[in-house]
Amino acid sequence: MGRGGKRRGKAIHGWLAIHKDRGVTSTRVVERVRHITQAAKAGHGGTLDPFSEGLLPIALGEATKTLVHVLEGEKSYQCWIQFGSETDTCDPTGQVIHEGGEIPGPEAVAGALGRFLGEIEQVPPNFSAIHIDGERAYEKARRGETFELEPRKIMIHDIRLESMEGAVASVMVRSGKGAYMRALARDLGRHLGCPAHLARLLRTRTLGFSLDEGISLERLDGMVREDRLGEALFPMDRVLDDIPALRLRVEAWHKVKNGQAVWLDAEGCRSGTVRLFDPEGRFGALGELSGGTLEDARRLCTLKRLFHSA
């Protein structure tokens, strides 16, 4: 970034589905992507802890404007839960604070998982980025301070035992916003009377991307060197597929992108957010529909967010 100026780089707009390796932070992955692509702007679609791996979608350019609209979506994980020890971080990077207990069998584990299905209350790990008294909880935890975080309501849409080998259970989880898989492993162990921690975590689905769409940083680097970045780049609105779409005529598009409200024939679209495409079929804005009735398909459309790459 130049002194007192804007960050320099290429105007690249869209999403990359990066497969993050274990041992690297999400922030570092974003930095690597910016270095490889030379994109002017980049941001990730939901943090993965350093010990975790799997999907880490990266927004480039104008696609970063979609982040505020998608971070509450569902996520899917494969969790490897190690019974026999609980750590202060609830993962393999921490210090063991409880150990022992009888290792539960697969039937006991499968039966206990039902307790965590649906809307539940969960106490986040002390080693987390939650703010408490003006600082991150992990900062207090690293100093050895004693404190308790308030429980939070989270949603677990699906949870099931895939397999169990020895003291390690492989559990598939589909969750909503704010769910900590580390805390889930901790709480499962406590419920079964055997200390446990999350030994390994793989994120398999998020923001509509699936694991088979993910590419490594090494592969991305190779594609960029071969001038094939476009093959890895997903459209900006890929993460907004659940939002209705309208293609505008020339006059309506000109008015909307200049901030004017227009009446549109929005048959099949309810009031609320809508994706707007320009006359050539390129995604260019998010609008807000209001007014009209069930019998009248016309809705008043006002500009919510403009994407300047269109």
Judged by DSSP in three states, 144 sits in coil
- Supply the residues annotated as catalytic: 49
Cα torsion for 71, 77, 81, 85, to the nearest 10°? -20
Angle at 220 between CA 216 and CA 224, to 5 degrees: 170
Give the integer Cα–Cα distance in Å for 244 and 266.
10
- Return all residues near 276 (Cβ < 8 A) that are at least 6 apart: 245, 246, 248, 253, 256, 283, 284, 285, 286, 287, 301
Q: How many helices (H) and strands (E) does the chain have?
A: 8, 18
Per the CB < 8 A criterion, the answer to whether 60 and 42 are in contact is yes
